[in-house]
Structure 1
Amino acid sequence: MAVDRDRVSALVRELLVAIGEDPDRPGLRQTPQRVADAYTEFFAGVGQDAAVPLQRTISVSHGPAPDTTPSGAVMLRGIRFRSVCEHHLLPFAGHAHIAYLPGEQVVGLGALPKVVDILATRPQVQERLGEQIADTIAAALDCRGVLVVLDAVHECVTMRGGTQPDASTVTIAARGALAEPAARAELVALMGREGA
């Protein structure tokens, strides 16, 4: 389902009037359309299937490099993401770190950021975003375990209420063999290390 730009634009115009502004003044004249264009980007993942990027897998034992079978986890750190908090419609942004224990099939590393992008471009809360990423990977890949760590800064914390400009939120979602804290401890440590 695509964002209805005309409707968003009309509603933003009404919002400007509701806060006491003049939507026809020069600085705001284009704002409703600009917000509609931005929302088209921010919410591009609504209605998309996040598992689609994981459909193309590579056989570990029969693939292009059978002599490089992973004996441990495959990890991709520092995946930048941005989303919009569904509680206040304010942005939050940060990094996703993903690890999985492959079975017979692996996926190209470029597929993992695509999963994050699809799920992040919806109205979200960070806790659910991490769970959805973990569920999508666990369901789509033949893997023994999945670990997703999200570290993000939320504008609802940094810009409103008891403003905390340096606070970040860290969430962990784990499936399979990595659901046990002891099993994931090494991976969590590696995710947090610079240049590891």
Structure 2
Amino acid sequence: MSVDKPRIERLTRELLEAIGEDPERPGLKQTPARMAELYAEFFAGVGEDAAAPLERTISVSQGPAPDTLPSGAVLLRDIRFRSVCEHHLLPFAGHAHLAYLPGEQVVGLGALVKVVEVLAARPQVQERLGEQIADAIDQKLDTRGVLVVLDAVHGCVTMRGGRQSEASTLTIAARGAFTDPVARAELITLIGRPAGGAL
């Protein structure tokens, strides 16, 4: 589904008029076109299949150690993401941390990043975003467990209402083995370690 840019331009002009502004004044004349481009980028994930990047998997049995299944989790930390809260259409942004316990199949790390990007590029709430990422990975890959931790700062908290500029929101979505808090404790500890830190 493609974004209707001309319609966004018309609606942006109407919004500017509704707040008492003149959309023809020099500082605002290009704003409708800029908003159309912005919304096309921010909502590019609407209607896109978030699990599609996970189609290309690699069989562990055909790799360099065919008799060995991975014994531990694959953890990808600090994936930067940004999305738009569906309640006020204000942005929220932060980091996603993804882990899965591979079965027979593994996937390229870039595919995991793409899943986050697709699902974040639509009107969202953080709680649902984490669950959708976990579901996509769990349902598409041969996993024994999935963990998704999102840590984000929300415009609706930092810029309006109580204006808590330092507040961030942490959510956890878990599947399989990682629904047990004890099983995911090591990963939560690893997520909190400084990047490049010694184990």
Same fold (TM over 0.5): yes
Residue 65 of structure 1 deviates from its aligned partner by 5.0
Question: CA deviation digits over 1:134-181, x for unaligned, max 9?
Answer: 000000000000000000000110000110001100000000011111
Q: CA RMSD in A?
A: 1.1
Task: Extract unaligned runs of 5+ from structure 1.
Answer: none
Are 2:101 and 2:145, in contact at CA under 8 Å, matched by a contact in 1?
A: yes
Residue 63 of structure 1 deviates from its aligned partner by 2.5
Residue 62 of structure 1 deviates from its aligned partner by 1.4
**3-state SS of the aligned residue for 1:13?**
helix
- AA aligned opposite 1:160: R
Return the alpha-carbon distance in structure 1 between the equivalents of residues 65 and 27 of structure 2. Answer: 58
Return the alpha-carbon distance in structure 2 between the equivalents of residues 71 and 117 of structure 1. Answer: 28
Match of 1:115 in 2: 115
Match of 2:174 in 1: 174
Match of 1:143 in 2: 143
Residue 193 of structure 1 deviates from its aligned partner by 1.1
Question: CA deviation digits over 1:71-107, x for unaligned, max 9?
Answer: 1000000000000000000000000000000000000
Q: Normalising to structure 1: TM-score of the pair?
A: 0.97
Return the alpha-carbon distance in structure 2 between the equivalents of residues 74 and 33 of structure 1. Answer: 42
Q: Normalising to structure 2: TM-score of the pair?
A: 0.96
Return the alpha-carbon distance in structure 1 between the equivalents of residues 46 and 30 of structure 2. Answer: 25
Return the alpha-carbon distance in structure 1 between the equivalents of residues 95 and 26 of structure 2. Answer: 37
Return the alpha-carbon distance in structure 2 between the equivalents of residues 159 and 182 of structure 1. Answer: 37
Query: Number of residues paired by the alignment?
Result: 196
Match of 2:100 in 1: 100
**3-state SS of the aligned residue for 2:109?**
coil
Return the alpha-carbon distance in structure 2 between the equivalents of residues 64 and 116 of structure 1. Answer: 29
Residue 67 of structure 1 deviates from its aligned partner by 7.1
Residue 118 of structure 1 deviates from its aligned partner by 0.2
**3-state SS of the aligned residue for 1:153?**
strand
Residue 68 of structure 1 deviates from its aligned partner by 6.9
Q: Does 1:37 align with 2:48?
A: no
**3-state SS of the aligned residue for 1:17?**
helix
Question: CA deviation digits over 1:16-57, x for unaligned, max 9?
Answer: 000000000000000001000000000000000001000000
1:1-196, aligned counterparts within 5 Å?
Answer: 1-64=1-64, 66=66, 69-195=69-195, 196=197
